[in-house]
Amino acid sequence: MAKSKSVFFCTECGYESSGWLGKCPGCQSWNTFVEEKIKPEKKSSGGNSFGFQGVHVQTKASTVREITADVTEREETGIGELDRVLGGGIVKGSLILASGDPGIGKSTMMLMLSGNMAKRKNVLYVSGEESAQQIKMRADRLHIDAENLYIYAETLISNIESEIERIKPDYIVIDSVQTVYDDEIASAPGSVSQVREITGRLMRIAKGMNISVFIIGHVTKDGGIAGPRVLEHMVDTVLYFEGERHQAYRILRCVKNRFGSTNEIGVFEMREDGLIEVKNPSAVMLEGRPENAAGTAVVCTLEGTRPMLLEVQALVSNTTLANPRRMATGLDYNRVSLLVAVLEKRAGYKMCDCDAYVNVVGGMRIYEPAADAAVAAAIMSSYRNIVFPQDTVIFGEIGLTGEIRSVSQAEKRVTEAFRMGFKKCIVPKGNEEGLRKTLGAEYLRNIRFISSVNEIVVKTE
């Protein structure tokens, strides 16, 4: 009987080594190698109907002129926000990974998707974490009763492949990829080798049979997808669920999409009857905004192609600590610390004896530097106890010398601000020429252009 051998894998990139290494040669990460026992592969004289195992069929290379590229066919899911994130719908034969924190709504979203698609197609929902009865209870709560929706509670990949061959579904949902295993691999489900093998076989199902496959992935305590980093490289689309379990709103963000734009987001509200689409996020995020309160400012940020108005709040207070506290929620902590330093150096604000807390309302997170001006305005407003005008939107990137730099797609941001009822916009001076060419006089008369952080309070008083 052949003996199994030990192999070491990097949990970040999947690099394989015969011995333990402190630093991974592939991704340069430290202390990421784990040991797994691998059984020798069994020889197979044939393959199943999918062609996943057995004899490999050799093909020939074709010139680019010989290959016909048809227009990518998409099918709408019936969930508008999800279609927006995917780029217009589901591409046939695509492999899509959905990930997020426990309890944030991944399984609920996938079951809602399955119910919608099962109205006209065959859908196989494979669960490795819940029984069929538990899924039925959730389906009843979501009012899902589709004849073509098949529920299968199984974790062995060979059994799942046999059921796929029997049902021949058009769409497959795997919940979750960390629970599915191959009995030919000695390591436990969820290990590096198991996740890599299972994902590879699901990818061959998707591409070989032109079936769209959704797989749900767990996350680590750091927020990354559990398993090897190669998992994200293998799939066509990566979706992340963001938000707090104790808050009502959920953000579905696309970080990779081979068939559309990245960084698109969809906004949902978690209710008893499932995830409800939020078609106008700007109005929702500004709901309940305090009036005549110092330390608040509104910014128009871009999430993919969607402009969104978000409220930034700041609280600056005197401290008795030797090292004043800096806290950022929804923003990069280092970026906020940099802006505080710029205000102290370039605008004369004495922040060395003050605590500074900055928060983006609604559980949203802002990644782009266009929010710098709004963060600075909120901090300055709180520091001087001056109310920033309620009807004004401000955006712009701040440099280390205190200059306000131009941002992309300023026209779309200004248009969204005026559409939501705001009367004024404070915009970087570098965007003036472009806006004067594209906007009418009724917009331009309500726009103020600034070039320095020192002009923010002057222009708003």
**Model pLDDT for residues 439-453, shown as the tens digit of each residue:** 988 899 999 999 999
Per the structure block, which two tokens stand in for 106? 């991944």
Domain boundary among 245, 263, 278: 278
How many Cα neighbours within 13 Å face the side chain of 389? 15
**Count: domains in the chain:** 3
Domain boundary, last residue among 257, 278, 299: 278
Q: How many CB atoms lie within 10 A of CB 180?
A: 26
Whether 57 maps to a domain, the answer reads no
**Range of lowest pLDDT (27-31, 35-39, 137-141):** 35-39
Q: Looking at the structure, tell me whether residues 291 and 231 fall in a common domain.
A: no
Q: Provide the residue range defining the domain that includes 31.
A: 5-38
Q: Is the link from the previous residue into 176 a cis peptide, with omega within 30 of 0?
A: yes
- Chain centre distance of CA 404: 29
Question: Where is average pLDDT lowest: 147-151, 186-190, 222-226, 247-251?
Answer: 222-226
Q: Give the domain CATH number at 139.
A: 3.40.50.300
292 and 272 in a common domain? no
Q: What is the mean pLDDT of residues 205-213?
A: 93
Does residue 168 or residue 186 have the better pLDDT? 168
pLDDT band, residue 29 (cuts 50/70/90): confident
pLDDT for 163: 95
Question: pLDDT over 70 for what percent of the chain?
Answer: 90
Average pLDDT over residues 143-147: 90
| 8 A C-beta contact, residue 155 and residue 179 | yes
DSSP for 283-334, written as a single string: HHHTTTPPSS-TTEEEEEEEETTEEEEEEEEEEEEE--SSS--EEEESS-HH
pLDDT (average), residues 384-392: 92
In-domain check, residue 294: yes
Q: Which of the 8 DSSP states describes residue 122?
A: -
Judge whether residue 230 has pLDDT over 90. Answer: no
Percent of the chain at pLDDT above 90? 59
Q: What is the pLDDT of residues 69-95, one digit of tens each?
A: 665 678 999 999 999 999 889 999 999
Residue 163 backbone phi and psi in degrees, to 5: -70, -35
Together in a domain, 256 and 294: no
Give the sheet arrangement for strand 447-450, strand by strand.
326-329, 354-360, 306-318, 296-303, 392-394, 424-428, 447-450
Q: Are 86 and 255 in contact (CB under 8 A)?
A: no
> 91, 40, 8, 51: which is closest to 201 by C-alpha?
51
Q: Which two tokens stand for residue 426?
A: 């404070």
Mean pLDDT (whole number) for 362-374: 91
Q: Are residues 266 and 288 in the same domain?
A: no
Question: How much is the mean pLDDT over the chain?
Answer: 87
Q: Is residue 323 part of a domain?
A: yes
Residue 33 scores a pLDDT above 90: no
Q: Which residue has the tokens 């509104």?
A: 298
Does any domain span residue 230?
yes
Quick one: 86 and 215 in the same domain?
yes
In a domain, 65, yes or no: no
DSSP state of 207: H
Place of tokens 């996740």: 195
Residue 46 is predicted with a pLDDT of 43
pLDDT at 227: 59
* Residue position matching structure tokens 């695509």: 94
Pairwise CA distance, residues 422 & 204, whole Å? 51
Residues 273, 288, single domain; the answer is no
Q: Are residues 127 and 197 in the same domain?
A: yes
The larger pLDDT score, comparing residue 388 to residue 260, is at: 388
Residue 67 forms part of a structural domain: no
What is the helix, strand, coil percentage profile of the chain, to 5? 30, 30, 45
Lowest-confidence region among 36-50, 91-105, 117-131, 338-352: 36-50
Residues 6+ apart with CB under 8 A from 161: 48, 50, 52, 201, 205
> Above 60 in pLDDT, residue 117?
yes
3-state secondary structure of 402: coil
Looking at the fold, whether 103 and 214 belong to one and the same domain comes out as yes
Here the CATH number for the domain that contains residue 304 is 3.30.230.10
Q: Is the pLDDT of residue 191 over 90?
A: no
DSSP states of 128-149: SSS-HHHHHHHHHHTT---TTE
Residue 288 confidence (pLDDT): 86
Both 228 and 294 in one domain: the answer is no
Please write the tens of the pLDDT for every residue from 262-283: 878 899 998 888 899 998 989 9
The C-alpha atoms of residue 352 and residue 372 are separated, in whole angstroms, by 20
Mark whether 89 and 213 lie in a shared domain. yes
This prediction's pTM: 0.78
The answer as to whether 66 is a domain residue is no
Helix (H, G, I), strand (E, B) or coil at 173: strand
Buried b (16+ CB within 10 A) or exposed e, 354-365: bbbbbbbbbbbb
Residue 49, pLDDT > 60, answer: no
- Between 106-117 and 132-141, two packed helices, what is the crossing angle to 10 degrees? 80
pLDDT band at 190 (very low <50, low <70, confident <90, very high): confident
pLDDT digits (tens, 9 = 90+) for 152-174: 999 999 999 999 999 999 999 99
Asked whether residue 363 is assigned to any structural domain, the reply reads yes
Helix (H) or strand (E) holding 200: helix 192-209
Q: Are residues 104 and 237 in the same domain?
A: yes
Find out whether 424 and 444 touch, Cβ atoms under 8 Å.
no
Q: For 46-59, what is the mean pLDDT?
A: 49
Confidence of residue 58 (pLDDT cuts 50, 70, 90): low
Tens of pLDDT, residues 267-323: 999 888 889 999 898 998 898 898 889 999 999 999 888 899 999 999 999 998 889
The answer to whether residues 141 and 242 belong to one domain is yes
Statement: residue 418 has pLDDT above 90: yes
| 231-253 pLDDT per residue, tens | 888 899 999 988 776 678 888 99
